[in-house]
Structure 1
Amino acid sequence: MKTVRTWILLADGTRARIVCNTGPGKGLEEVRGMEFEGDNSRSGDIMADRPGRTFDSAGAHRHAMEPHSDPQREAKRSFAAELVATLQDQLQDQAFDRLVLVAAPATLGDIRKALPKPLLAVVYAEIAKDLVHIPNQELGDHLADVLAV
């Protein structure tokens, strides 16, 4: 009987790692080369310059302009898209059979939006929690509802 390899993606907006489970009672092992760091800059660091200025439509008054998007939020969306691209490549290489997504709620939403159909087909479960900093030995308790570790 073939061993089912379940990858668990643990992510927040700036960090991610992947662990693998090969069956009930087998525990979790880090997948080598599958630790990721995104841009951890604060909005204030990214937008250190003063905002642009604009003139009143009538008169000589000037006003500061607000940015159209939050650069920090965009960086997190981009990070999620990079994670999905890596997972897609690994799925094509048959590195895993099932996928469990465990991410902070906003990050989980970003990942969901970026998932292509082939990857979506192997998603076994989703957990909206930030567990990226939890040691592997303690993850089993958090995953008990979806996976027998």
Structure 2
Amino acid sequence: MTPTHVDQIRRNHSPLTNGTWVLVADGEKALLCENIGDADHPLLEVRREDHQENPPNRDQGAHKPGRFNDGPSVHRSAVEDTDWHRLAQDRFAQDLSEMLYKRAHRHRFERLIIVAAPRILGELRGQIHKEVASRVIAELPMTLTNHPLDEVATRISARLTEDTSPPDG
């Protein structure tokens, strides 16, 4: 008999149960995976992989920062240059939120764990649709996009069980 989600969580305290989807993202790479294992032995399988070419800001800006006069005096002030690298990361987070909405709307997943670099996690929080947000069971501010999938699963499980384990005593 296959254990239910509730049985798995009671035994192991990890919400990374069978069928749970995991988004692992930073500002340039994202993996959307499904746990085809169970809470005790998670096995992540990639369902979608996205990459974005995002060179450093110095390679994207074409001009020196602008300057303007401070009125009738001879003083001039610099204008902050656009952070093209950050804008590209924000656009990538927006694209991820749209992709998650489309999949949630088509009932592709019921449970989602988001593991993302802290700033990208914040961007995603502000952009995901309520239909996706209602399926998010955990958020972890971690950058794991360049780790092997078995290590990603292990780190997620460890972090989630440390957050939910009963206090010692």
TM-score by length of 1: 0.84
Length, aligned pairs only: 144
Gapped runs of 5+ residues in structure 1? none
The equivalent residue for 2:64 is: 50
- CA deviations 1:81-125 (Å, max 9, x no partner) are 100100100111111111000011111111111111111000011
**In the aligned structure 2, how far is the partner of 1:144 from the partner of 1:26?**
8
Task: Name the % identity.
Answer: 33
The equivalent residue for 2:156 is: 143
Identify which of 12, 16, 20 aligns with 2:30: 16
Gapped runs of 5+ residues in structure 2? 6-17, 162-169
What is the CA-CA distance between 1:134 and the residue it aligns to? 0.9
1:29 aligns with 2:42: no
TM-score by length of 2: 0.75
Q: Normalized per residue, which structure has more strand?
A: 1
CA contact (8 A) 2:42 2:153 kept: no
1:65 aligns with 2:79: yes
Q: Which has the higher contact order (CA 8 A, sep 6+)?
A: 1
Q: Normalized per residue, which structure has more helix?
A: 2
